[in-house]
Amino acid sequence: MINSENETKLIENALIGQQSAFKALYERHVDELYCFLSQFAENTSQKEEWTQRAFIKAFNKLDQFNQRSSFKTWLFTIGLNEMRIDMRKKIHFENIDDKQIDLVDSEPVEETSIWYKAKAAIRQLAPDKRVICLLHIAEDYSHAEIAEMIGISEGTSRVILHRAKQELRTLVSS
């Protein structure tokens, strides 16, 4: 079973309209989703909006959740899709370059530290590489989960991550 018994019960209770189950699912996952989406947001309101829209969509479509993956994976997929929709709108309407999609620094880091170099290098990755890199390394998702989340094959996820790591090594060492 992918979801814990407790989470499965929460999902079942939410499906019958129990508000406390919705609240428990929200509280269980909101911080992780918010942190993950903040890696792609330009400001606080943007990451809050993506997180809120992801939960609204997840709760509205909870009857479509088939439990082939964990609820967290399904929710992160929805969050990623909300981010993509927003980015496509901005690119379409404002002609924003992908390089403007930036990581949010949670705390200042010395310019000479490896963390500063790593963050700077991750900022330079193309969005597809950045998403897969963060999902696999920072969020510990498997390639199978990533493939399902973003609609690619598992092999493609592996190749993109491999290329991202090569690019990061070059960027960090220079």
- 149 and 128 part of one domain: yes
**In terms of domains, do 126 and 90 share one?**
no
User: How would you write the pLDDT of the chain (174 residues) with one tens digit per residue?
Assistant: 466 788 899 999 999 999 999 999 999 999 999 998 888 877 888 889 999 999 999 999 999 998 888 899 999 999 988 888 877 665 443 433 443 334 444 445 455 566 677 778 888 888 888 888 888 887 888 898 888 888 888 898 899 999 988 998 888 777
- In 10 A of CB 158, how many CB atoms? 15
In the prediction, which pLDDT does 76 show? 92
Give me the helix-helix angle, 71-94 and 143-150, nearest 10°: 50
pLDDT at 110: 57
Q: How many domains does the chain have?
A: 2
Question: Would the pTM of this model clear 0.75, i.e. be above it?
Answer: no
Domain that holds residue 163: 109-174
The verdict on 120 and 170 lying in the same domain is: yes
Domain limit, last residue, from 84, 104, 124: 104
Nearest to 53 by CA among 100, 89, 107: 89
- Indicate which CATH number applies to the domain containing 29: 1.10.1740.10
Distance (Å, whole) CA 32 – CA 72: 9
SS (H, E, C) the chain: CCCCHHHHHHHHHHHCCCHHHHHHHHHHHHHHHHHHHHCCCCCHHHHHHHHHHHHHHHHHCHHHCCCCCCHHHHHHHHHHHHHHHHHHHHHHHHCCCHHHCCCCCCCCCCCCCHHHHHHHHHHHCCHHHHHHHHHHHHCCCCHHHHHHHHCCCHHHHHHHHHHHHHHHHHHHHC
Pair (97, 145) in one structural domain: no
Which pLDDT value is given to residue 74? 92
Q: What is the pLDDT of residue 27?
A: 95
Query: Does residue 130 share a domain with residue 97?
Result: no
How many residues comprise the chain?
Answer: 174
Question: Residue 22 is which amino acid?
Answer: F
Same domain, residue pair 51 and 123: no
User: Is the same domain home to 97 and 113?
Assistant: no
User: Residue 105's pLDDT is what?
Assistant: 45
Looking at the structure, do residues 3 and 86 belong to the same domain, yes or no?
Answer: yes
Q: What is the CATH number of the domain that holds 129?
A: 1.10.10.10
Statement to judge: residues 59 and 129 lie in one domain: no
